[in-house]
Structure 1
């Protein structure tokens, strides 16, 4: 009974912490980054939006599981792992960026020269790579989630971290779904803008990949 009463007393504090975390997470998500560049690139190249959002979501879900299980802190404390993850993640972003820059879309209308039709599986895997191989996202999860968890609550710490990570992931899915619908509508209304937006998204991924590499070699 006392345990149940304690849980009820914790409820207002838990709700307050979750709402505070959701506010911070939303602010971080709306700031343009690698996920933005990937999603915009998927929009202008007419890739399946459900697959693109699903890939980003799966990547962050896997990261949530790693952090909640306590593996994330162990991996983050291993310099060799972080260096390897950074190199792989930056190389992957550079590859996607260069690929986008080499073949920017002219419009969302199909042409006879388009030899790479949209594939859901490839888009899904690309999204998983963008979010799941992002070392900044892993460090962000490790630094942010514990600040809104309390080891003194009746809920296990792993459950609290999992809940917060899933809230972040769900917010990502909602935001990028809305953003992709808006962006696709805008690009369809202005087909000539698709090429410029394609260049911007490709350049964004290249710049983010290069910044990860430079930062890694400066440390």
Structure 2
């Protein structure tokens, strides 16, 4: 399906793109800082599930809608921005004693919605969909057949690279959080909330480009 040179070039490009800090990186860092490694890993699973959803949408041609329809792009953009800002306000208003940082590596049941929130955060980022439309087609060769499957395979590889990166961030930040978690619940909530609000505002002012 892919020749060695094409696949190698894609893996290098995908790794570079994953390593460039962006909203996804900020999301993982804030989750791991506020709730430990386990929460960061659950957030990573959510974000990469969203990546696979975007890959599926691209394979079906739905990403083209965002590229050609200004209204579709704006609706998705503002929905994602509003969701992030809402999460930030919620973090700021939450009582300190409910902060997940109080238990650095709490079991998954302690924050059952973090996976779903991460999926929504990733899906509501129109830039991810446009990335799939602009970047992946460069490595898709219709003459090799099964274009939809090529999109899915490339998306799965990107998701795997992204998850490995998020896993390393979660472990590093989670361990650091355990070391400095005493009495830090309130400031962690506020930092988390501020990051969410900043990400929401940044998304709201982004242009299609």
- For Structure 1 versus Structure 2, the TM-score category normalised by the shorter chain is 0.7 to 0.9
1:214 Cα deviation (Å)?
2.3
Say which is worse superposed, 196-205 or 76-85, in terms of deviation.
Answer: 196-205
Deviations 1:76-125 (A, max 9, x none): 32221111000101111111223334449778334xxxxxx8322x1111
Structure 1 residue 39 corresponds to structure 2 residue 32: no
Aligned length: 199
CA distance in 1, matches of 2:81, 2:187: 23
Find the counterpart in structure 1 of residue 14 from structure 2.
Answer: 25
TM-score (norm 2): 0.82
Q: Identify if the C-alpha distance between structure 1 residues 155 and 205 changes in structure 2 by more than 3 Å, giving closer, same or farther.
A: same
Q: Identify if the C-alpha distance between structure 1 residues 24 and 204 changes in structure 2 by more than 3 Å, giving closer, same or farther.
A: farther
Q: Identify if the C-alpha distance between structure 1 residues 50 and 214 changes in structure 2 by more than 3 Å, giving closer, same or farther.
A: closer
Alignment of 1:20-169 (within 5 A): 20-46=9-35, 48-103=39-94, 108-110=101-103, 118-120=110-112, 122-152=113-143, 154-169=144-159
CA distance in 1, matches of 2:100, 2:41: 20
Structure 1 residue 172 corresponds to structure 2 residue 162: yes
Deviations 1:120-176 (A, max 9, x none): 2x1111110111110111111111000112222x23222211111111111111111
Contact 1:40–1:180 (Cα < 8 Å) also in 2: yes
Contact 1:104–1:198 (Cα < 8 Å) also in 2: no
1:19 Cα deviation (Å)?
1.9
Structure 1: tracts of 5 or more residues without a match: 1-6, 111-116
